[in-house]
A and B are shown apart, each in its own frame.
Chain A
Amino acid sequence: MVDQWRRVGRARTGTPRLVWGAVTLAVLVLGAVFLPWLGELDESLIHYESVRLAPSLEHPFGTDAGGRDLLLRAFAGLRVSLLVAVLCAVISTVLGVLIGGLSGAVGGWPDRLMMRFVDTLNSVPHLLLGIVIVALYRGNLTAVVASIALTHWTTVARIVRAEVLSLRERPFIDAAISGGASRWRILHRHLVPAVVPQAAMSAVLLLPHAVWHETALSFLGLGLPPHMASIGNILAESRAAVMTGAWWVVAFPSLVLIATTLAVSGLASVWRDRLVPRRRSELAL
């Protein structure tokens, strides 16, 4: 396991992408964590006297229809979106590791059945399945998280299963089994180190997808409660602003969203390339 991490650290491919991605993400995350807490800046308070102001020194991103500073609101929204995304990524990774790992380790007909089920689930477009789930449990944060997690675990499950299957074929496992090692020991010494980096990377690769999914649901009016600052809700509100020429209401939250997804997926792809240069296509989400 240590070797694998070292390889990631030493490799030189994609260094500029790594630096840019890391810097952008750091700025965004710091902003999301700290900006909404600065001073008396409560993003939910309405300011009747400063409605729809164009960007200025005081409000770099301008203000929205409620007179709320869009810089604060966009980052508060990013915080909500990132929290939801991290939660979803973790849940779907855990689900995927458990199901994929078990399926690969057990093998036989349960494995084949499980893979058929995964195929079936992948046959329904994820956003559509997500829409069905949130429609039936509206106005509920859990529903949004569930709708994303339940549709995204399959990718992780496949990767983990493939890893477990390839491990089963390797001579050192056979050697360990014939050497009388316990199941627990094999799991602990060989499976976990091989699977954990894969799973961690899948989780990171899932992040932009989860952000994207949550944003799309909220934009359609089916996601997070509309009063909650999330990038999707802010963009849904901005549809009215497009008409009045308040371009900044659309532009800046969009930029924050795009920068986030690009930075995360850039980082994740560098990591992926370094970790498993040859298995690119399999890991492409």
Chain B
Amino acid sequence: MVLADGYEPETLNPLLGFGEEGASKLFDGLVEHRADRSVRAALAAEVPQPSPDGRTWTVKLRSGVKFHDGSTFGSEDVVASYRAVLDPAFASTVRANYSMVTAVDADGPSTVRFTLAYPYAPFAHRLVLGVVPSEAVAQPGPLERSPFNGKPVGTGPYKLTEWRKGDRMVMEANDDYFLGAPKVRKLTVVFAIDDNTRAQRMKAGEFDGTALPPLAANGLSDVKGAQIIKHSSADYRTVVMPMANPVTGDRAMRLALNYAMNRAGMIQALLGGRGQPASTPIPQALPEFVEPTAQFRYDKDEAARLLEQAGWVMGGDGVRARGAQRASFTLMYPAGDSVRKDLAQAFASDAKAVGVEVKLEGLGWEAIEPRMGADALVLGGGNPFDPDLKSYPLLHSSFAANGFNNPGSYRNAQVDAALDAGRKETDPAQRVAYYRQFQRAYAADPAMVFLAFLDHTYVVRDGWTGYQEVVDPHTHGLTWGPWWNVQSWVPRG
């Protein structure tokens, strides 16, 4: 099976973020996600459960599992992997996800015990981290320089046979895979960065499948023997409003802009109809958590009323002002991302309609990063597994100005309280209540202007059975997407 991907991983080391959300093909976590976003046991023998106080998680391990190099998997590998994540000497990039873990210990060869600083309800979702052999992390030192990054050894259904960087990656079925050898024997992933080139080559029949932007995928609707697959996702696009900016720092301005956005129009026109409107980071993929009263409708009059009320008066040039302050700010977007560019243009266009001037700048990330605190930015992210996983770092004040987490330095005591409560609560019904409370608090004082959850679109050639629909996280391509469970696909005929 030949797949094309627009993104080439920098590294194949799970401790540096490869397959952070599971489905990595090469590695297994203690648990893995199912299509209904619940977790099931992978390297664990059964789904782990917390102790009554929620602070100790004991995991029994599956026996008889072997790494690709033939060595036996055991508790020392799990302990070594997680300790390497936690040890600053390894400079793991996923360390922040595990800040609640205080200790990882082996309890015999087939049991591991995690000790947490506080009860953390969605902890099972964090156990999808790919386990590496203990030998790979024997020497402390920055993982970035480890040869393991390009020559990974895991327990997963596929093993890497060739990685011609910048060109392709070839994987072969792992016959010793503990859930049985995959029927799709060889997986080639060709890296073709440009969306249009990939679409053209897909149309010409070179690939068995690829991910494409919605509009490009629509152009392939008439290709014989292939179909377009749409996955809804938790992958949001939002415009971050920095609190330090005199215009976007104003609550009324942020509320008004949320009302001024024609989200349905954007999705229809720019995303080819493939997306869901977004008002908060909680996606429709988590239906029980969604708070219906926290959704913004498209209402230009309401936006104008809010602005007038807050003292933003329309000026002669069609731009409002409050005192000497013009309602004008800069919106940055990554120059290479056409969807974000289109959304940025639409944002500016809709803002102009209510008298707010938005100046666009397309930049590289290195130029964006130092300015995130002062200028607005089109940001993307999200995962469908648990509301805590994204909402907390994105909006909690303890993550203010911490890299991509909460770049606008949003601080709201009610939002903080609800997020903290949800994170520690173990009773599911009570958690839902906390997250709905969080959304109501957010909607009264929005930190950003969420625009849409993108549907991911794929073109897949027929010839296999076993595809199962799933809700994608932000990352997709080699890991998530239609091929998330390719190890259980069967060639047809």
Contact B218 A225 (CB under 8 A): no
B199 neighbours in A (Cβ, 8 Å): 240, 243
Expressed in whole angstroms, the minimum distance between the Cβ of A67 and any Cβ of chain B is: 6
Given contacts A44-B345, A46-B345, A139-B364, are A240 and B269 in contact (CB under 8 A)? no
Check A60 for interface membership: any CB of B closer than 8 A: no
Separation of A46 and B344 alpha carbons in the complex (Å): 11
CB-CB contacts below 8 Å: B359-393 with A? 360-364, 367
Contact A66 B336 (CB under 8 A): no
Separation of A270 and B220 alpha carbons in the complex (Å): 48
For B, the interface residue count at a CB cutoff of 8 angstroms equals 37
A239 neighbours in B (Cβ, 8 Å): 194, 196
B345 neighbours in A (Cβ, 8 Å): 44, 46, 66, 227
Contact A65 B269 (CB under 8 A): yes
* Of A44, A138, A244, the contact of B363 (CB 8 Å cutoff): A138
Given contacts A44-B349, A45-B349, A51-B269, are A240 and B216 in contact (CB under 8 A)? yes
A67 neighbours in B (Cβ, 8 Å): 269
Of B213, B220, B335, most buried by chain A (CB within 10 Å of CB) is: B335
A226 neighbours in B (Cβ, 8 Å): 335, 338, 341, 362
CB-CB contacts below 8 Å: B207-233 with A? 213, 215-216, 218-220
* Of B216, B342, B363, the contact of A66 (CB 8 Å cutoff): B342
CB-CB contacts below 8 Å: A37-87 with B? 44-49, 51, 65-67
Contact A221 B361 (CB under 8 A): no
Check B262 for interface membership: any CB of A closer than 8 A: yes
Check A242 for interface membership: any CB of B closer than 8 A: yes
Check A277 for interface membership: any CB of B closer than 8 A: no
Check B315 for interface membership: any CB of A closer than 8 A: no
Check A245 for interface membership: any CB of B closer than 8 A: yes
CB-CB contacts below 8 Å: A227-249 with B? 227, 237, 239-240, 242-245
Separation of A237 and B194 alpha carbons in the complex (Å): 12
Given contacts A45-B349, A45-B352, A225-B361, are A65 and B215 in contact (CB under 8 A)? yes
* Of A48, A66, A138, the contact of B262 (CB 8 Å cutoff): A48
Output the nearest chain A residue to B353 by Cβ-Cβ distance: A45
Output the nearest chain B residue to A51 by Cβ-Cβ distance: B269
A139 neighbours in B (Cβ, 8 Å): 335, 361-364, 367
CB-CB contacts below 8 Å: B234-273 with A? 262, 265-266, 268-270
Q: How large is the interface on A (under 10, 10 to 19, 20 to 34, 35 or more residues)?
A: 20 to 34
Contact B196 A65 (CB under 8 A): no
A245 neighbours in B (Cβ, 8 Å): 219
Check B348 for interface membership: any CB of A closer than 8 A: yes
Separation of A46 and B360 alpha carbons in the complex (Å): 14
B219 neighbours in A (Cβ, 8 Å): 240, 243-245
B270 neighbours in A (Cβ, 8 Å): 46, 65-66
Separation of A244 and B219 alpha carbons in the complex (Å): 4
CB-CB contacts below 8 Å: B433-449 with A? none
Separation of A243 and B196 alpha carbons in the complex (Å): 8
Output the nearest chain A residue to B336 by Cβ-Cβ distance: A221
Q: Mark A199-221, 1 if CB is under 8 A from B, else 0.
A: 00000000000000000000001
* Of B194, B216, B218, B367, the contact of A138 (CB 8 Å cutoff): B367
CB-CB contacts below 8 Å: A241-268 with B? 242-245
Contact A138 B335 (CB under 8 A): yes
Check B200 for interface membership: any CB of A closer than 8 A: yes
Separation of A65 and B342 alpha carbons in the complex (Å): 9
Of B194, B220, B346, most buried by chain A (CB within 10 Å of CB) is: B346
Expressed in whole angstroms, the minimum distance between the Cβ of A243 and any Cβ of chain B is: 4
B425 neighbours in A (Cβ, 8 Å): none
Separation of A67 and B350 alpha carbons in the complex (Å): 14
Separation of A226 and B349 alpha carbons in the complex (Å): 16
Check B420 for interface membership: any CB of A closer than 8 A: no
Contact A48 B265 (CB under 8 A): yes
Separation of A225 and B362 alpha carbons in the complex (Å): 5
Separation of A139 and B349 alpha carbons in the complex (Å): 21
CB-CB contacts below 8 Å: A116-147 with B? 138-139
Expressed in whole angstroms, the minimum distance between the Cβ of B5 and any Cβ of chain A is: 18
B362 neighbours in A (Cβ, 8 Å): 139, 225-227
Separation of A45 and B353 alpha carbons in the complex (Å): 9
Separation of A65 and B270 alpha carbons in the complex (Å): 7
B348 neighbours in A (Cβ, 8 Å): 44
B216 neighbours in A (Cβ, 8 Å): 240, 243-244
Given contacts A225-B335, A243-B203, A243-B216, are A138 and B269 in contact (CB under 8 A)? no
* Residues of B that sit less than 8 Å from A by CB: 194-196, 199-200, 203, 213, 215-216, 218-220, 262, 265-266, 268-270, 333, 335-336, 338, 341-342, 344-346, 348-350, 352, 360-364, 367
Question: What are 5 of the A-B contact pairs (CB < 8 Å)?
Answer: A44-B349, A226-B341, A227-B362, A237-B338, A244-B216
Closest 3 CB pairs of A and B: A48-B265, A243-B219, A244-B219
Other A-B pairs, 19, CB within 8 Å; known A46-B269, A139-B367 = A44-B349, A46-B270, A46-B345, A46-B346, A47-B269, A48-B266, A48-B268, A51-B269, A65-B269, A67-B269, A138-B364, A138-B367, A139-B335, A221-B336, A240-B199, A240-B338, A242-B196, A243-B196, A243-B200
